[in-house]
Amino acid sequence: MIERYALSPMKDLWSEEAKFDSWLEVELAVCDYWASVGRIPAEDLETIHQRAKIDVPRIEAIEEEVRHDVIAFTTQLAEKIGPSSRFVHMGLTSSDVVDTALALRVKRAGALILNGLERVHAVLSNLAVKHAYTVMMGRTHGMHAEPTTMGLKALVWREEFGRHLHRMREAIEEMNVGKISGAVGTCAHTGIELEEAVMAELGLKAAPVSTQVLQRDRHAHFMTTLALIGASIEKIATEIRNLQRPEVRELEEPFRKGQKGSSAMPHKRNPVQCEQLTGLARVLRGNAIPAMENVALWSERDISHSSTERVVLADSCILADYMLHKIAGILERLTVNEERMRANLNVTRGLIFSQKMLLYLVDQGLTREDAYAAVQGAAMRTWHGGEDFAGELLKEAAVAERLTREDLEKAFDVQPYLGQVKAIFRRCGIELE
């Protein structure tokens, strides 16, 4: 991933040095097991632990010649360790090391993603509570519908990220497995006991059964979870972009002192951070496709998955980490323009109370069809430049017989729309004061 979207410690986890360090973790754990059952003399094990050091440039130089990264890795270790290196990689195939080490790194990356999710979840919880009763226009199809609150909007986002926390924990658990089962997964040269002991030392579980590789549905689950997280970040970013438009201006992403929005137009305050997140979410979704296509490998393995995973796993973890950091910062400093929200409630001159009028007329004995026709007729005249909604309603006989202008003005009150807010929050585990 380019530096622009890469943050430490996540980007460091996907460096070449970190990759080879994780391979060495696996190799040393296997050596520890062989020593525990008498296959490696104690003095050789001590030498291996003391001298096994990673030299990335040397590995890369060897790979230029041998055209095999794991062989280049073990050859470089042999140069460092000396004669005792004959015990390194004993009984293993390349994927035993690569897949198990990858599980270690994904597990660590997943922990960083969880931290980011927890931060966003907490920010959304605070935003929801702070604006639980901040009334604003609810919109469907981009059009004014009925009043809602900024708190309920944030609560929807908060619950979504709660589900992402659950999904990510599940995805990490599915990736929390390794394998030392050999060339086609039979454990013929190592035994199940070694596999289980090594995984225990590494903090992983042994895959119950494997081929030469861990099955890629696990990796696809992890990658699609990252893509879903990106989709939800995009969802929030898109809403902020929409509500930042000057004719709406209910929300605004942070705009720092000294920031400039346009090279040509000094007045511009563009939602560039949210636009950036919208674009990066597309990359996460795109990366999920090869992860799913990697599930279908030939027989006990091929390496068609390997090249794509070198790109998409690292990039998606780094991007998701960056995006979570970015959206959390936006939400922590989000401008909520309450005055503008109140003003926008009146843009349609009372039309937002149409359902309330429909239900009132039905309660008064009109058929739903007759009530709908009366309310819609008044609404359409209001849309097309007539009086305000109350005035147009009073031109409908069914309404004028039952309500006065004063009755309508009292009825056109947003407070009744807030009656269930507290109960909805309680259902989501939050008690409002």
| pLDDT tens track for 89-126 | 999 999 999 999 999 999 999 999 999 999 999 999 99
CATH 1.10.40.30 assigned to 351-413: yes
pLDDT tens, residue by residue, 220-240: 999 999 999 999 999 999 999
Separation CA 371–CA 393 (nearest Å): 11
Comparing 141-155, 236-250, 257-271, 390-404, which segment has the lowest mean pLDDT? Answer: 257-271
Q: What is the pLDDT of residue 269?
A: 87
pLDDT band at 30 (very low <50, low <70, confident <90, very high): very high
CA atoms within 13 A on the CB side of 278: 13
pLDDT tens, residue by residue, 197-214: 999 999 999 999 999 999
The dihedral of CA 305, 23, 222, 239: what is its sign?
negative
CATH 3.40.30.10 assigned to 94-253+263-344: no
Q: Are 198 and 26 in contact (CB under 8 A)?
A: yes
131 is catalytic: no
Q: How many CB atoms are located within 10 Å of the residue 353 CB?
A: 24
3-state secondary structure 258-313: CCCCCCCCCCCCCCHHHHHHHHHHHHHHHHHHHHHHCCCCCCCCCCHHHHHHHHHH
Q: Are 115 and 122 in contact (CB under 8 A)?
A: no
71 backbone φψ class: left, alpha, beta (φ>0; ψ -120 to 50):
alpha
Is pLDDT at 74 greater than 90 in this prediction?
yes
Q: What is the pLDDT of residue 255?
A: 82
pLDDT tens, residue by residue, 265-278: 888 889 999 999 99
CATH 1.10.275.10 assigned to 3-87: yes
Is pLDDT at 261 greater than 80 in this prediction?
no
Token output for 84 = 């005792």
Average pLDDT of the chain to the nearest whole number: 96
Place of tokens 């430490």: 8
- The amino acid present at 59, given as its one-letter code, is I
Rounded mean pLDDT, 170-184: 97
**How would you classify the pairing of strands 251-252 and 335-336?**
antiparallel
Is pLDDT at 130 greater than 90 in this prediction?
yes
* Residues β-bridged to residue 137: 147
Q: Is the peptide bond before 9 cis (omega within 30 degrees of 0)?
A: yes
Q: Are 130 and 213 in contact (CB under 8 A)?
A: no
Q: Are 295 and 216 in contact (CB under 8 A)?
A: yes
125 is catalytic: no
82 backbone φψ class: left, alpha, beta (φ>0; ψ -120 to 50):
left
Catalytic residue among 141, 263, 299, 384: 141
Q: Are 294 and 222 in contact (CB under 8 A)?
A: no
Catalytic residue among 15, 36, 262, 307: 262
pLDDT tens, residue by residue, 340-362: 999 999 999 999 999 999 999 99
Per DSSP, the three-state class of 7 is coil
Domain spans, the chain: 3-87, 94-253+263-344, 351-413
